[in-house]
Structure 1
Amino acid sequence: MGLGSERGSVQNPFLRYAEEAGWTYLPPEEALRLRGGEEVPVLRAVLVEQVQHLNPGVVGSATKAEEVVEGLLRVRRNIEGNLEAWEYLKGLKTVFVEAERREKNLRLLDPDHPERNAFHITDEFPFRSGPHRIRPDIVLLVNGIPVIVVETKAATRTEGIAEALDQIRRYHEEGPELMVQAQLFALTHLVRFLYGPTWNASRKALFDWRAQAGQVDYETLVKTFVAPRRVLRLLTDYILFVRKDGELTKAVLRPHQMRAVEKVLARAKDPGKTRGLVWHTQGSGKTYTMLTVAKRLLEDPGLQNPTVLMIVDRNELQQQLFQNLEAVGLGHVHLAQSKRHLRELLRQDTRGLIVSMIHKFDKADANLNPRANIFVLIDEAHRSTGGDLGNYLMGALPRATFIGFTGTPIDKSAHGKGTFKVFGGDDPGGYLDKYAIRESIADGTTVPLHYQMAPNDLIVDREAMEREFWAAAELEGVAEVEELNRVLDRAVTLKNMLKNRERVDKIARFVAEHYRQVVEPMGYKAFLVAVDREACGLYKEALDRYLPPEYSQVVISRGHNDPPALKRYHLTDEEEAAVRKAFRKPDEPPNILIVTEKLLTGYDAPILYCMYLDKPMRDHVLLQAIARVNRPYEDDQGRRKTSGLILDFVGLFDNLERALAFDSQDVEGVVEGLDVLKERFAALMERGHEAYLPLCQGPTEDKVAEAVLEHFRNREERERFYAFFRELEEVYEILSPDPFLRPYLEDYRTLAEMYRLLRSAYEPHVPVDKSFLRKTAEIVQAHTATQGVQWPTETHELGSAALIALLREERPDTVKVFNLLRELHRLVAAKRREEPHLIPIGERAEAIRRAFEERQLQSREALKQVEVLVRQLQEAESERAESDLTSEAFAAAWWLRVQQGLEGQGARAIAQRLDPLFRKYPHWAVSAHQERELRTELYKALLQGGVPPEQVVSWANALLDLLRRAS
């Protein structure tokens, strides 16, 4: 068994570990029997039995259970249908019980009693949808329903995870009836283990399971992920369907979110502790964590019908939270309309969920409700419970449990220490759960941030900043935008400087040029943060002089007494929702949003890359604002955002420690200057000069290509180069364009072409251009004739003639080998469905490529073996053109003669007997009955054709497996 093979090292161990964790393995043929055909995604026999078992008195017969199954299978083939399928799993669907003449809830899972469920796992799961046939590596089924689809890849596959994700995306397109039932998918190539929600197969929705399981071996990773009790909990409690601006999206909680939910639930059941503080850094999903906590608390029967109170401190946040509650399907919610209404709700012992703003507890009566099973979840706890409001809140609910949530670390001011005192007293270090900034970057939950100082003539006067902003006593622990604005309102000189028309015009021109040159080529968008609402209007007027008007949009709050100059920028709620929605999309304007308060907290737009900052900020406000650009993003071409950028026009980042009054370890890694990246780029290029560019010193391009290919035949050496170039490319993408890069450009292009050459030659299954980031892709496409490295020539005619032309080219043997192998790969990939006889040729070509790569073959021997394949291909084309056999029968004849060595007449005779059978049984690959009939006739044909009896079954299996692979 080869080290690192997909089946031996990844897929089979996964199956074995799942069995040891409590799943029952079904061989593919047994799973197909229980399904009743390849078009059926469920184990119908198992599901019918389990529906009756889990619903005694509700589903009393197999006929009734079949009706339930049919209803499940009729859900729409899109995300809406996936939501409906999840509602079945969650127990939200009902069935009419005639004996009781009413609807009763239907259960397809029992999450509280895992032993009552049937857990099956199977592999090589063939599924047919119309003309398409897919075959996921592993499928996990609970009570016969496919709930998790797993793609495994060999640990040695360079792009294993990316390939697996592409396959998951293809399954959604070609097998939607299967994927509409599945709720999760997982991808692994031994080293990494990622999971995500179906119907949201973007890279940003992929999460690393190691973050939950820790640095453990593959066995522990698999067993912790597939533990039956955990899978039931994942399916029923940690999946969220959310409607954002009218569009349904799906999410699954990340490991740190699940961890926090479980800790909060444990705290809720601990009679000795009634406080807790959860810090999950901005952009890591704090809102979804809170919503899941609320749902779990309300659904837990052990908490005896509790009251859950969700507290926010601003009307905007209350509306946002309320929309989220409705979006994720939380039941009836009480929204406290006034102080009096809130007190009535609490006095009347209202159960369920209550949403209120913190100020409605002002002067609240003591002991409004002394019940213990009241749970108060406080958003942005670092500011919500300041002053007397927190005292009134806790005095009104003396026995309640209070859990504070914050997206920023607690500051070192007296205010911050007070927050720790209120919420953190029951936990060492002050936090019940902590997910710091550095952790989120390491997990890929957020991306790193970089800053760049604007040119000196555009930065505001430092003396005015010092006098009117930094020296203000009110800046101690600033927690909200309104508080910051009050300080700025008194900074008259500073605000006038910031709104000076000449300065605004210069900055607008700079922003327009920077956006066009740096941000737009990457495919991203930007915020321009102005000091106040008037400044937003001024920036819009100025930007319109340098960019098309549709490029930018002002988003500000409306004021009744606003002058006409501001009213022209007022948006209705519907207009603002449309702007927010359009900004998230890559091909729609606006490209730049001009803001001062709105959207600086709570707005999530992953496409946002750059923040042009022209408003003095600090502490929580600054951290929340710059976190708008830390969301991961990937475009439709698979190109990913590797960082966010802050362009500073006010000088905040001259002294970041001063701007952020937090413990240094809490904000370590928040943001670093672009100068650091320039140093890193220079160091990487120096390494490239020493280790890789000397390979490009040959006298001719073909000799250079040969030297490069020969040098990198060792996989580990290639992997080191790939990792080196990816880091170099990411830094280049961020820095470009910059005069600093000019001396490096020619060498950078050469390294990029070297990367393309190696990917084309050694990884022919991976589209090379997709793996480049945008700016590198542009320079590679623009400079395809650069001296030095040359990658294999593109050929557009797929066939033996093109391959023979390559054989005759005057090129070094190494280059010829890779060119031919790559074109053989393309040919087989393009024609395997209609010409299955090509598959063995493609497999042999892949074996030669691997042997050559591992130095088991020298160039001359590899070229000879490839030449044999090309001649075989030419012969096959000639014979196929003259044959009137079906493609399957011709493939059988070719396989028997070339692969098994059967003499030509015997192979043709068997194929002629099989030809009418393939016409008679066209659905043999999906119909068990047709396959049995075909197999019986195939055995007879092989025996009559002279195949030894002891080899008939194995030959038949191999031949049918070949024909299945074609589909």
Structure 2
Amino acid sequence: MDKYRQFIRGKFAEEELESAIIGLFQEEGWKYIHGESLHRRYEDVLMEDVLADSLRRRYRDLALTDSEVRTLVNNLKYIPSAPLYDGNRRTFWLINEGIDLPREDASLPAAHIEYVDFDDISVNDLLVVNQYSVTDKATRRPDLLCFVNGIPLAILEFKSAIEEGATIHDAWKQVCVRYTRDVPSLLKYCCVAAICDGANNRLGTVFTPYLYFYAWNKADDADKVSNGIGSLYTLVKGAFAPERFLAIVRDFVFYPDDGDKEIVCRYPQFFAATKMLDNICAHLRPTGDGKGGTYFGATGCGKTYTMLFLSRLMMLRRSSVLSNPTIVVIVDREDLDSQTSELFVTTKRFLHEEDVRSIESRSELRNTLADKASGGVYITTIQKFSEDTGLLSERTNIVCISDEAHRTQTGVGSKLKRTDKGVFTRYGFAKYLRDGFPNATYVGFTGTPIDETIAVFGPVVDRYTMKESSDDGITVRIAYEPRLARVQLSDDQVRKIQEYYDRCAEQGSTKEQIEESQRAMSAMSVILRNPDRIARLAEDLVSHYEALCSEKPGVVQKAMVVCSDRLHAFDLYKAIVAIRPDWAIARKAEDESKLTRERLEDLEALPKINIVATRDKDDEQELYDLCGTKEWRKLLDRQFKNNDSNFKMAVVCDMWITGFDVPSLAVMYIDKPLQKHTLVQTISRVNRVFDGKDKGLVVDYIGIKDNMMEALKRYGDDDEGSVDELSVSLGIFRNHLAMLDELMVNFNAAKFISGTPLERLACLNDAAEYVQLSKDFQTRFMGLSRILKSAYGICFPSGELTDREIAMAQFYLAIRSIIYKQIIGDAPDTEMMNAIVENMVAKAISCTGVESVVDAQKSEDLFSDEFVAELDAIKMPITKFNALLKLVRKAIRAYGRTNKVKSVEFSERLHKVVDAYNTRDDLQFTSEVVADFVDDLSDQLLTILKDLEEDKRSFEKMGITYEEKAFYDILVRVRDDHGFPYAEEKGITLAKEIAKLVNDKAQYADWSTRNDIKSQLNMDLTVLLYRNGYPPEWDEEVFEKVMEQATNFKKYE
């Protein structure tokens, strides 16, 4: 058997890969035969003798006649293969469901015949055949076919693992383009397809777009995920082991009742549905507790299909336990209702249930479900259950599946509502749902389970995290780009935003705290809607989005702008339109001439940017008109999901940030405080797979990173790897740019930077020739530039790249483009090349003479000799000043975590320097004088840095801790502000006593929010100050600063 595994240590051609895979199939129990050894006509696709023998053997007790066997074979054989989808679907259902055969002997009842025995795997003939030629419109020879009882149910195509030019995309084209076109008589039988090259191995169907072929990375649920060559083993053992393969064909291949799709499950969907089924049956009432369990699946991983596969299993596979159950799919908002119902209403045949529909009203809910005996699959919203619903059914074979189970579907307990008329008990919708179905079993599906989810639905039965989803390619990775500093919020505003976050983290669920949060949001709105801030943010956003789109002009890149409320959204919308008035003009498409008449008919004329929000009766006219009616929002929904539409940017506040799928959504601009599950749900809008989209980008204008990291640890994975921060992409970009610089060190690119257009063109042509002088050199260049291109797409719009980096990246990517086109097709002519080069040079022309800047991340080296030397090496004074300014701000923020008072003092010193810098334009001097002026300010910044470092370490000389030093600084600051004498030694002694006092009170986790503890601390501190001779008139000021420092210290401890 070892010969089949040797390819993990060596290189294998396509034939050797094929041989190795056949060996793996044989290990799993499949028989093997070479296609050319079979005596058959190429026009004959079915192994008719094998099928006939299987039918006779399995139905020996029926004594089928030869004529009856021939009828069964012909029923399958003569299903038309044109159109292919219709033939494939008819063939699948015949194989899946079997057929009722009228007997030749009229005295005998019709016999139900199954072409495949799904219950007893051992009685089926399982055969893998390679090089099985088929003649239809042309003669084609697939690499491998999987026959079950003579029927080719699966097709596999291989490409060499060692030829870089031969990819699994070529294998996909071979199956899904060439074979579907040339041999539909074969493809009508194949319900599963796989494409492999040894390292990349993916499963799909003959109708699956390439992007939606996915690896099967686990053989069994308990296994660890396997990638690369390991995924070949898991594909064969996990999806093609006979019992598993037939389970997939039986219950996990979905054809909608109408349409032209075929869906085969992904491995997390298969394992989740089967595990959830077992758990539901174990907890079914009356013997169980009715908690069917929670499924924790990453947003965007296909939970709706998992619910569908689970529903089929419940309807068909556990009849002895579930007894033809009624399934109620519960969603909690109308947009999800539409999305889920659109899928489920096309599943009647798949679910073997005619009564599958959405429940549109409370009266329909009662009329449909009250006293229903069994069966039925219904989709409705949680809001349709109310106090008036009452008892609907006491049956135990009702299963309620809650979609997005972290929202309103956990409110089973009571809450008190206090009004002028008294205190009333109120319940959530979930309580009334359970009143309606007291003996049902409840199942929760969510991408962000909260504690209440587990309490209501039961423990997590299976999980599929954001990191697993992105690693498997089911969703794209999320790139995070912070741009808060570029918007330049004032320090005071930043402080208010941070204070708001702190309060939210401590927020409970009482009425008073909710009202407090709402008041805080109102105050936050004042900050976020500051006109100067809105104007700067709009300018930055427009620039960023246009740069993003310019990098991939052929790829649809839609954007979502998330604002805190409707007025904030309105302000930002107006500011963006003021910069780009053309975006407010209604069109069907950006370039209607590129679309066919049929595609244009699906479009409505819309502006490029629209607000998506509900209107209010008190709105001013413009906002009222922009928000529109419910029908208008439905139109916006449809058109935003249409990739041809002119509607490219949606400005939202609450709508569309959860449960809204638009694969072409490439970037999300966040200017709204978010946290916990809402934050994860929101940023997950950009993680859908789309052609040309390698990552979804989240641009942060408000500072959500800490909350995001905390949320991702809870809902993403144990690490923070599911967010690919800009800094990671920058590191990759700069590393590969440096390697390309080294590779091209002997080529002079100066003319590309500073020459005339013709000189630039000549330089580019010379560079392309230079790279191609050696095959090894060219291979290395193309490999490095490929990774550079991917990283550049993320880094360029961020504004973090230097002009030189942009110019050289454009240079290398232009070379790559020319070589790529020379390899793949006709080389561009002079006019085409000039157009490309002129566009790139326009962006790079101003880059000459730019120097690198000190890495602001190296905070631990701020005061080393190497740091000072590196700083002195920066010759441009303004560049040097800005680099230092960034470092000083960062150092002060860090110091503020342990010593609030001193950080304020250093902030005041910093503001004086910045104010002086901001008035430099008023100087009527030469550039040399201005440079000297800025250099002097840089020296002042460096002095602040050095003083700060000395102050941070001064506690050591004083013989106290840094915490005691912070309290000492408070005493000194109050003393100096009010001009009374108090000796340094007494201050040190008193600071130590204050530290002991605070630490004694801070041993309780909620000490800073409990009024009784704070009051006791205030009293004890007053006594302590009095005993140590500190003037009593300043007790309250000292207490306030001590509380602020103690709270701040414990927060960052």
Q: Is the 8 A contact 1:183 1:235 kept in 2?
A: yes
Distance 1:757 1:525, change over 3 A: closer
Are residues 1:709 and 2:734 paired?
A: no
1:184-228 Cα distance to aligned partner (Å, 9 max, x none)? 211222233211222123224333445766445855642433222
Q: 1:295 aligns with which of 296, 307, 312?
A: 312
Map 1:274-423; keep pairs closer than 5 Å: 274-300=291-317, 301-303=319-321, 304-329=323-348, 330=351, 331=353, 332-333=355-356, 335=358, 337-338=361-362, 341-342=365-366, 345=369, 347-360=371-384, 362=386, 371-383=395-407, 384-388=409-413, 389=428, 390=430, 400-408=440-448, 410=449, 416-423=450-457
Are residues 1:729 and 2:789 paired?
A: yes
Code of the aligned partner of 2:521: A
Offset of 1:436 from its aligned partner?
1.5
User: Residue in 2 aligned with 1:182?
Assistant: 190
Code of the aligned partner of 1:644: G
Q: How does the TM-score come out when normalised to structure 2?
A: 0.62
Are residues 1:146 and 2:152 paired?
A: yes
Offset of 1:141 from its aligned partner?
2.6
Offset of 1:277 from its aligned partner?
1.8
SS of 2:612's equivalent in the other structure is coil
SS of 1:90's equivalent in the other structure is helix
Q: RCO higher in 1 or 2 (8 Å CA, sep ≥ 6)?
A: 1
Q: 2:46 aligns with which of 42, 57, 60?
A: 42
1:504-554 Cα distance to aligned partner (Å, 9 max, x none)? 555444333322221354222211223334555555555444143345253
User: Residue in 1 aligned with 2:473?
Assistant: 444
SS of 2:406's equivalent in the other structure is helix
Q: 2:608 aligns with which of 537, 545, 552?
A: 552
SS of 2:119's equivalent in the other structure is coil
Unpaired runs of at least 5, structure 1: 411-415, 425-429, 635-639, 713-717, 787-967
Distance 1:580 1:360, change over 3 A: closer
Superposed CA RMSD: 4.6
Are residues 1:740 and 2:773 paired?
A: no
1:818-852 Cα distance to aligned partner (Å, 9 max, x none)? xxxxxxxxxxxxxxxxxxxxxxxxxxxxxxxxxxx
Q: Is the 8 A contact 2:218 2:234 kept in 1?
A: no
Distance 1:767 1:81, change over 3 A: farther
Which range moved further: 84-93 or 513-522? Answer: 84-93
Q: 1:232 aligns with which of 246, 256, 264?
A: 246
Offset of 1:611 from its aligned partner?
0.8
* Percent of aligned positions that are identical: 23
Distance 1:143 1:5, change over 3 A: same
SS of 1:514's equivalent in the other structure is helix
Code of the aligned partner of 1:345: L
SS of 2:24's equivalent in the other structure is helix
Q: Is the 8 A contact 2:610 2:650 kept in 1?
A: yes
Distance 1:531 1:205, change over 3 A: farther
1:31-87 Cα distance to aligned partner (Å, 9 max, x none)? 571xx433x54335545666787897999625533552355234522x454434433
Map 1:555-634; keep pairs closer than 5 Å: 556=612, 558=614, 561=617, 564-566=621-623, 568-569=625-626, 579-634=636-691
Map 1:449-488; keep pairs closer than 5 Å: 449-454=478-483, 456=485, 458=487, 461-466=493-498, 471-472=503-504, 475=507
Q: Distance in 2 between matches of 1:27 and 1:685?
A: 50
User: Residue in 2 aligned with 1:431?
Assistant: 460
Q: Distance in 1 between matches of 2:655 and 2:140?
A: 47
Code of the aligned partner of 1:64: T
Which range moved further: 371-380 or 724-733? Answer: 371-380
SS of 2:377's equivalent in the other structure is strand
Which range moved further: 575-584 or 519-528? Answer: 575-584
Q: Distance in 2 between matches of 1:515 and 1:703?
A: 35
Q: Is the 8 A contact 1:281 1:440 kept in 2?
A: yes
Distance 1:592 1:57, change over 3 A: farther
User: Residue in 2 aligned with 1:136?
Assistant: 142
Are residues 1:250 and 2:262 paired?
A: yes
Offset of 1:292 from its aligned partner?
1.1
Q: Distance in 2 between matches of 1:745 and 1:191?
A: 34
Offset of 1:137 from its aligned partner?
0.9
Q: Is the 8 A contact 2:92 2:191 kept in 1?
A: yes
Code of the aligned partner of 1:87: W
Distance 1:533 1:219, change over 3 A: closer
Q: 1:526 aligns with which of 552, 556, 559?
A: 559
Q: Is the 8 A contact 1:633 1:641 kept in 2?
A: yes
Offset of 1:285 from its aligned partner?
1.0
Distance 1:42 1:739, change over 3 A: same
Q: Distance in 1 between matches of 2:650 and 2:183?
A: 39
Larger radius of gyration: 2
SS of 1:89's equivalent in the other structure is helix
Which range moved further: 556-565 or 613-622? Answer: 556-565
Are residues 1:89 and 2:95 paired?
A: yes
User: Residue in 1 aligned with 2:892?
Assistant: none
Q: Distance in 1 between matches of 2:57 and 2:388?
A: 51
SS of 1:434's equivalent in the other structure is strand
Q: Distance in 1 between matches of 2:567 and 2:343?
A: 31
Q: How many residues align?
A: 742
Are residues 1:677 and 2:729 paired?
A: yes
Q: Distance in 2 between matches of 1:290 and 1:664?
A: 21
Code of the aligned partner of 1:528: V
Q: Distance in 2 between matches of 1:702 and 1:339?
A: 72
Q: Is the 8 A contact 2:131 2:142 kept in 1?
A: yes
Offset of 1:129 from its aligned partner?
4.1
User: Residue in 2 aligned with 1:649?
Assistant: 701
SS of 1:731's equivalent in the other structure is helix
Q: Is the 8 A contact 1:343 1:368 kept in 2?
A: no
Offset of 1:587 from its aligned partner?
4.0
Distance 1:628 1:85, change over 3 A: farther
User: Residue in 2 aligned with 1:693?
Assistant: 744
Distance 1:610 1:459, change over 3 A: farther
Q: How does the TM-score come out when normalised to structure 1?
A: 0.66
Distance 1:499 1:146, change over 3 A: farther
Q: Is the 8 A contact 1:452 1:648 kept in 2?
A: yes
Offset of 1:12 from its aligned partner?
1.6
Distance 1:31 1:75, change over 3 A: farther
SS of 1:445's equivalent in the other structure is coil
User: Residue in 1 aligned with 2:282?
Assistant: 270
Offset of 1:694 from its aligned partner?
4.6
SS of 2:79's equivalent in the other structure is helix
Q: Is the 8 A contact 2:683 2:698 kept in 1?
A: yes
Q: Distance in 1 between matches of 2:679 and 2:507?
A: 12
Distance 1:267 1:721, change over 3 A: farther
SS of 1:29's equivalent in the other structure is helix
Q: Is the 8 A contact 1:343 1:364 kept in 2?
A: no
Code of the aligned partner of 2:333: R
Q: Is the 8 A contact 1:364 1:396 kept in 2?
A: no
Offset of 1:385 from its aligned partner?
1.2
Code of the aligned partner of 2:23: R
